[in-house]
Structure 1
Amino acid sequence: MASNLDTLVTVFGGSGFLGRNVVRALCKRDYRVRVAVRRPELAGFLQPSGKVGQVHTVQANLRYPASVEAALRDSQIVINLVGILAESGAQTFDAVQARGAETVAKAAAAAGSRMVHVSAIGADEQSASLYARAKAAGEKAVLAAVPSATIFRPSVVFGPEDQFTNRFAALARMSPVLPLIGGETKMQPVYVGDVANAIADAVDGKAKAGATYELGGPEVLTMREIIETILAITNRKPLLAPLPFGLARFQANFLQFAPGAFKLTPDQVTLLEKHNVVSDAAKAAGLTLEGLGIAPDSLEGITPQYLWRFRPAGQFQRKDA
C-alpha cells in the first residue's frame, strides 16, 4: 500500500498561525510538506514539525504567478491558507485573498493537483467589509478553476499564537479600561488544532469535493462573553466600556496606524457588526467539524493552557487570588 510519504503537499502560508498547525498535522500523518512563503529564511522553525527532510520551505509570493507555479510543481495536493487581517502596502485584501487565491487555484488546475482553500465565515460578495468581499471573491475564483476544491470557512480561530485571545489579554494587562466593540455580536470560537485536523482530513480524502465547510467551536458566545472568559482566566479586572460602532469606526481611523495590540481598522469594526457563527444549512448538510467526526475543543478548555502568562503572578497564581 502506498505511504503518505509518497504524497507531496504544498502549503501556501504555512508559516502563519494556522499554517504552522496545519504543517504539524500533516507531518503527523507522514505527508511530505513543502511550505511556500514570502520569507523562507524566517520559516526554519517549521523543520522540527516533522522528521528530517519531511518539511521543505520555498519562496513564493501570490502576487507573482511564476513563483506560485514553481512552488507547487510535482505536488499532488495544494493548500492555500494565505490571508491578512489588515491591508499594508501592496498586501491588499483583493491582491492576497481574491487574486492571490485565483493564482494558486489556476496553478493547481494546470498541475492537476487537488486543492484545499481556507476562507472565513462571513465571506460575502455583498458585505460592507472589504475583507469579507475579498474572501468571497477568492472562493468563487478557486471553484471556477478547481471545481473539486474543498473550502473551509472557520469562525474566529484561537490558540497559543493567535491575535485574538492574546490580544485582549495583553490589552487587559496594560489598561484599566477595555473598550467593548460589538459586545452582543455572536461568534463561535474554534480551536486552531481542530481546524488543522479538518484540513488534514481533507488531504486524507475524508472531506467532500467541491463542498464548503463551516468550522466553529462547541459554543456560540457573544463578544462580551468571550472577553469575560479571557479576563477570568487571566485574573484581570479592567472596566469593560461598551463602544458604539460609529464611535469605534471613528477611532479606528487613527488606531489603524497603531502598533501591536492597539491596532484596529475601520474594516475590522465593520466585521464586528455581523454574527460569525456556523449556519443552519452547514449543520444540516454535515459540512462542519462534527460532520468530519471532530469533537471541537472549547475556548474555556484550551485558553488556560497559554493565557496563564498574562496573570499578575504568572502560572502559579490561584484563579481566585
Structure 2
Amino acid sequence: MELKNVLLIGGSGFVGGWIASALSQRGVRVTIATRHRDNTKKLIMLPTVEMVEAKVHDQQALVELMRGQDAVINLVGILHDRDSRLPYGKGFAAAHVELPKKIIAAMKESGVRRLVHMSALNATHDGVSEYLRSKGDGEAAVQAAIGELDVTVFRPSVIFGPDDVFLNVFAKFLKLFPIFPLGGGSARFQPVYVGDVAKAFCDSLGDRNTFGQTYDLCGPKVYSLRELVEYTARLIGKSRRIIDLGNGGWAYLQAGLLWLLPKPPMSPDNLRSMDVDSVTDGTHDYPGWQPTALEAVAPSYLSPTEIGQFRLDRYRLRAGR
C-alpha cells in the first residue's frame, strides 16, 4: 500500500518533528497543520514538508486540509489542563476526545481512510487521572471507526530523546538544586525512544496487517522514577540528595506548587497518572519491535562529554554526510 501524501495533525511537537523527518527521508509529502508557522522553522527546512496555518478544531478547516491526502496521523495531546474537573477538564476534552471525533468525521467527508492515532499507555474510560480518562475516551472514539476507516492506534509509555520534556526536565532541576524532593519516586516506567516511535508510525502507515490493531510502544527496561532521576544526575555529573516524598500528601503538595508555575513540570493530575505503572507485558507489542535502550541514547544529549559529538553527528546526518 503506497502512500504519497500524509497529513500530520499535532506535527509541530517533539514526536511530530521526528515523524515528519522520517517520512521526508522516505520521499513522502507531509502536510503539517500548525497554529503559528513561524514557530516551526526547523520543520520548514525539511524537503517534502509543507507547513500550513490552520485551526484544526474547525471542522471545515479539517476537511480542507484532508483534500488530496492519503493518510492522517493524529499526535495531538496535552499534559496539563487548568480546567480540572470530573471526568476531565475542557482542555483535555477538546484535545483528546473532541478533536479525534472531528478528525474521523472530516476523514469520512473527504474520503480519506487511513488513520494512525497516538493514544497513551493505560488510557481508559475509567482511568486514574483526567489525562488517562480523556485519552481513553478519545481512543474509544477512534476504535469505534474501525471498519469505516483503516485505523491503527499506538499507546506509548513516556517518550525520551533529544529535546524531550522528560529527562531534560530532571536535568534542569538537578542542575539548580542540591536537594531534590521527589514525589512518586516508586512509580514505574518503561521509557521508549522517540526514534523508535517515529519508525513504528511510519512503518505502519502502508502495512495492511496493522489495520484495526492497537499496539503498546515501550522500551526494553523498566525503571522507577527515582532510578531515572538518579541516572540523569549521573549523566550530567551532579551529586544530589534525593528525598522521596512518597505518593501521599507531601507529593501532592509539591505537585500543587509546581502546578502554579507558568510552564509546570508536574501537576496533581500527573501524579495521579503515576498511580498506575506505565509498563507493558509485551503481549501487544508492535510486530518486530526491537526498542533502543535508554542508556544507548540518553548520554548523547545529557552527558557534557558526549553532547558536542552528538550535535556534530546530527549535523552530518541532516547534511547527508
Task: Give the TM bin, normalised by the shorter chain.
Answer: 0.7 to 0.9
The 1:223/1:306 distance shift into structure 2, 3 A limit, reads: same
- Displacement after TM superposition at 1:253 (Å): 2.5
**What is the 5 A alignment of 1:33-52?**
33-50=30-47
The equivalent of 2:312 in structure 1 is none
- Displacement after TM superposition at 1:119 (Å): 0.6
- Displacement after TM superposition at 1:18 (Å): 0.3
The alignment partner of 2:50 has SS state of strand
Match for 2:293 among 298, 302, 310?
298
Counterpart residue identity of residue 261, structure 2? A
- Displacement after TM superposition at 1:32 (Å): 0.6
Q: For structure 2, list consecutive stretches of 5 or more residues without a partner in the other structure.
A: 84-88, 310-321
The equivalent of 2:99 in structure 1 is 100
Q: Given that residues 177 and 241 in structure 1 are in contact (C-alpha distance below 8 angstroms), is that contact kept between their aligned partners in structure 2? A: yes
Match for 1:212 among 214, 238, 244?
214
- Displacement after TM superposition at 1:91 (Å): 6.9
Say what the alpha-carbon RMSD is for the aligned residues.
2.2
Q: Given that residues 33 and 56 in structure 2 are in contact (C-alpha distance below 8 angstroms), is that contact kept between their aligned partners in structure 1? A: no
Write the distance in 2 (CA, Å) between the matches of 1:134 and 1:195: 21
Counterpart residue identity of residue 12, structure 1? I
Q: Given that residues 121 and 216 in structure 2 are in contact (C-alpha distance below 8 angstroms), is that contact kept between their aligned partners in structure 1? A: yes
Write the distance in 2 (CA, Å) between the matches of 1:188 and 1:170: 21
The reply on whether 1:258 has 2:261 as its aligned counterpart is yes
The alignment partner of 1:303 has SS state of helix
- Farther-moved stretch of structure 1 (179-188 vs 267-276): 179-188
Counterpart residue identity of residue 118, structure 2? V
Counterpart residue identity of residue 304, structure 1? P
The 1:227/1:207 distance shift into structure 2, 3 A limit, reads: farther
Write the distance in 1 (CA, Å) between the matches of 2:168 and 2:203: 28
Write the distance in 2 (CA, Å) between the matches of 1:97 and 1:188: 23
- Displacement after TM superposition at 1:183 (Å): 1.7
- Displacement after TM superposition at 1:294 (Å): 3.7
**What is the 5 A alignment of 1:132-211?**
132-147=132-147, 148-205=150-207, 207-211=209-213
Q: Given that residues 23 and 33 in structure 1 are in contact (C-alpha distance below 8 angstroms), is that contact kept between their aligned partners in structure 2? A: yes
The reply on whether 1:116 has 2:116 as its aligned counterpart is yes
Write the distance in 2 (CA, Å) between the matches of 1:155 and 1:3: 29
Match for 1:79 among 65, 73, 76?
73
The reply on whether 1:55 has 2:49 as its aligned counterpart is yes
Number of residue pairs matched by the alignment? 300
Match for 1:24 among 21, 36, 53?
21
Counterpart residue identity of residue 264, structure 1? M
- Displacement after TM superposition at 1:244 (Å): 2.6
Q: Given that residues 201 and 207 in structure 1 are in contact (C-alpha distance below 8 angstroms), is that contact kept between their aligned partners in structure 2? A: no
**Percentage identity across aligned positions?**
35
The 1:168/1:200 distance shift into structure 2, 3 A limit, reads: same
Write the distance in 2 (CA, Å) between the matches of 1:308 and 1:82: 30
Q: Given that residues 62 and 96 in structure 1 are in contact (C-alpha distance below 8 angstroms), is that contact kept between their aligned partners in structure 2? A: no
Q: Given that residues 183 and 252 in structure 2 are in contact (C-alpha distance below 8 angstroms), is that contact kept between their aligned partners in structure 1? A: no
- Displacement after TM superposition at 1:3 (Å): 6.9
Q: Given that residues 11 and 34 in structure 1 are in contact (C-alpha distance below 8 angstroms), is that contact kept between their aligned partners in structure 2? A: yes
Write the distance in 1 (CA, Å) between the matches of 2:21 and 2:209: 19
Write the distance in 2 (CA, Å) between the matches of 1:204 and 1:122: 26
The equivalent of 2:239 in structure 1 is 237
- Displacement after TM superposition at 1:194 (Å): 0.2
Q: For structure 1, list consecutive stretches of 5 or more residues without a partner in the other structure.
A: 317-321
Write the distance in 1 (CA, Å) between the matches of 2:111 and 2:82: 33
The alignment partner of 2:45 has SS state of helix
Write the distance in 1 (CA, Å) between the matches of 2:269 and 2:72: 29
- Farther-moved stretch of structure 1 (141-150 vs 168-177): 141-150
Write the distance in 2 (CA, Å) between the matches of 1:177 and 1:207: 50
The 1:195/1:91 distance shift into structure 2, 3 A limit, reads: farther
The 1:314/1:302 distance shift into structure 2, 3 A limit, reads: closer
Q: Given that residues 62 and 103 in structure 2 are in contact (C-alpha distance below 8 angstroms), is that contact kept between their aligned partners in structure 1? A: yes
- Displacement after TM superposition at 1:259 (Å): 3.7
The reply on whether 1:247 has 2:246 as its aligned counterpart is no
Q: TM-score, normalised by structure 1?
A: 0.87
Counterpart residue identity of residue 155, structure 2? R
CA displacement 1:137-171 (0-9 Å, x = unmatched): 11111122344310000000001011000000110
Q: Given that residues 184 and 251 in structure 2 are in contact (C-alpha distance below 8 angstroms), is that contact kept between their aligned partners in structure 1? A: no
Write the distance in 1 (CA, Å) between the matches of 2:42 and 2:308: 25
- Farther-moved stretch of structure 1 (98-107 vs 83-92): 83-92
Counterpart residue identity of residue 133, structure 2? R
The alignment partner of 2:292 has SS state of coil
CA displacement 1:19-63 (0-9 Å, x = unmatched): 00000111111111000122223223212332xxx1111123343
Q: TM-score, normalised by structure 2?
A: 0.87
The equivalent of 1:319 in structure 2 is none
The alignment partner of 1:163 has SS state of coil
